[in-house]
Structure formats: structure tokens, C-alpha cells
Amino acid sequence: MLDPGQVGVCKVRRGSAGGGLETATFASSVTHIDAMERKPFFHYRPGTPTITLAAPGCSFRCDYCVNFRISQYGRDDESVWNVHPVEADEIVARAAAMGGAVALSYTEPSLAPELTLELARHGRDVGVEVVWKSNGFLTLEAIALCAPAVAAVNIDVKGVDEESHRRLTGASSRPVIEAIRAFREHGTWVEVSTPLIPGVTDPERIAAVLAGISRDIPWHLVRFTPAYRMRDQDPTTPQALAKAADAGRAAGLRYVYVERALGAAGRTTWCPSCQASVLRRGVWSLAENRLEAGHCPDCGTFLEGRW
Ligand code: SF4
């Protein structure tokens, strides 16, 4: 609980005189449209057009953050409160008109749960769902509040080693892993992304933890590019991404993806039973969907997802 006027570690929420929290939650720095694959979600409503919003602020302070100009509000002078107001009903109406969804991404959506709840409330009657890209650093109470409003979440797992995770992000990794379990228990579709930072990320350990939760969690391996406080570090090589993808499969994960560096094969969904190609993608777009109500058209196996 914050005292009146006290600002939280997120830097965007403040205690109010009445005992609650105040902040500009109905605000966004961006409003743009792209495909669900761009979030990235590969097993949730492929090809769905998505309006993406992002309000400033994050509970982490990752050294490599490519979005630091909006995520590090209150911590970094280069991050400024540059937003426009968001009317949830208007955003939902725009998404409904194109048969789409609404995503909260680039910064941490759990800092403004009011916006998610309001978007979901308006979206319920018109078939517009809300999805998150999140760092997963939420309490179980916050997940219980938000999960009924979040159809799918892509959680960043940056590491499972406490010490290196704290060094990289400023926070513990344990709640992130717990969030994967909790969102799944609430019925939210969960995918995971991992930025593969040379010399920092341990993909074998992360893959083992994810496979221990479910082998059906899609795992997106993301190439690290030098940014923010890690501008002097080398980018991830395609060889390292291929090795990490192999480690994911060796750990038992059925769906391991690399969006760009390994070409089209890296972003294809293969049937885990007969190995047929069932979903092909361009770079962050859908190219072909052969699934029949989520089943492989060749052998009938159901692939986990929200199709
Ligand atoms: S969790 Fe994401 S948005 Fe937040 S600081 Fe880390 S990389 Fe940036």
C-alpha cells in the first residue's frame, strides 16, 4: 500500500489521499495496427488484425530494453510522458469493425489493469478480445483480477537464475514463472518469449522449466540486438538461436520458434505427431493455415492453442 502522494517502484502509480491508487491509466503512447503474429502469438487466432496500445511505465528496468523511451518513465530522463487519451469503447469499436483484437504491449500492461478490464468489458459483446505482452511480474491476486479479461498473454522469461535475472531486470524471476502457471490455471492462453542475450541467457535451464510446466507452451526465441545500457554487446548469432531452439526441443517443448534469423522454417508450426507443416508464416504475418478446427489435416492430431 502506498501512502498518499507516494510513487510506486513502477513510477507511474501513486497513492491517493482517499487510500486508493491514482494514475493516468486510460492513456497510450502508440495506437497502431498489425497482425497477432507480431505480438508475438503463434497459437492464438492466427492472422487476426490487432490494435496495439502502450502506456508509459514498467516494473522492470532491463538493461537491454529497446522500448526504454516509454518503459523507463520516472527512471530515465529520456523517457517522457508522451501519451494520448484512450477511450476503451472507441478502441473496441475500431477492433470490432475489422474483426480484430486489442493488444497491450511494449511496456507493462499490468500497471494499468483498469484499461484492460474496461477494454474487455466493452469487447465482450462484440467478440473483441484483449491480449497482453507482459513481463509476468504480477502477484497472484493481480492475475486473478486480470486473467478473466486477458484472452492470451505472451510472457517474457528472461532467465530462471535469480541473481542474473535481478542484475538484468532489477527483479526476481520466481513470480514470472509462477505467473505462467497461474494464467494457465485461469484459462488464459500463454506463450513465452525469451531474449537470447549472449553470455547471459541460459536457454537449456529455461527450456527445462517451461517443459516442466507444459510441453505445449509455444516458446519464442528472440534475437538480442544491442540497445540501451547494452549497446556494446554483440547481437545473438543465428547459430546461437539454432542451438537454443535445439535445446528447447531436446527438453521436450513441442513448439519452438525463431521469428527471423532461421528463415521460414523457424517460424513454421509442425504437427508434433506427423511433422507436417500446418501453419506457415511470413515475418510477423500468417502465410498459410492448414489446421482444421485446431487439428492437423493429415493425421488429425489436435495442436494446443486458441484457433
Ligand atoms: S520488461 Fe520489457 S518493457 Fe520492461 S524494461 Fe524489460 S524489456 Fe523493457
Closest-CA residue, ligand 1 atom 3, reads 107
CA-nearest of 246, 294, 287, 295 to 268 is 287
pLDDT in tens, the chain (307 residues): 788 888 888 888 888 877 776 776 899 999 999 999 999 999 999 999 999 999 889 999 999 999 999 999 989 999 888 889 999 999 999 999 999 999 999 999 999 999 999 999 999 999 999 999 999 999 999 999 999 999 999 999 999 999 999 999 999 999 999 999 999 999 999 999 999 999 999 999 999 999 999 999 999 999 999 999 999 999 999 999 999 999 999 999 999 999 999 999 999 999 999 999 999 999 999 999 999 999 999 999 999 999 9
Q: What is the pLDDT of residue 185?
A: 98
The predicted pLDDT at position 218 comes to 98
What was the pLDDT predicted at 15? 82
The structure's pTM equals 0.96
- Of all atoms in ligand 1, which is nearest to the CA of residue 71? 3
For residues 59 and 97, give the distance between their C-alpha atoms in angstroms, rounded to a whole number. Answer: 33
User: Is the beta carbon of 259 within 6 A of some atom in ligand 1?
Assistant: no
What's residue 252's pLDDT?
Answer: 98
Ligand 1 pocket check: which of 134, 154, 156, 201 to mutate, most ligand atoms within 8 Å of Cβ? 156
Q: CA separation (Å) from 176 to 31, 112, 181, 272, 278? A: 27, 18, 9, 27, 31
Q: Are 194 and 222 in contact, with CB atoms under 8 Å apart?
A: yes
49 has which bridge partners?
Answer: 35
Q: Give the pLDDT confidence score for residue 266 in this predicted structure.
A: 97
CA distances 189 to 152, 164, 218, Å, are 4, 28, 10
pLDDT of residue 3: 85
Residue 44 DSSP class: B
| pLDDT at residue 82 in the model | 86
Mutate to test the pocket of ligand 1, among 106, 107, 110, 194 (most ligand atoms within 8 A of CB): 107
Could you tell me the maximum CA-CA distance found in the chain, to the nearest angstrom? 62
Which domains are present in the chain? 26-268 (3.20.20.70)
Whole-number Å distance, alpha carbon 297 to ligand 1 midpoint, is 39
Q: Which ligand 1 atom is at minimum distance from the Cα of 135? A: 1
Instruction: Tell me the C-alpha distance between 83 and 251, whole Å.
Output: 43
DSSP 170: S
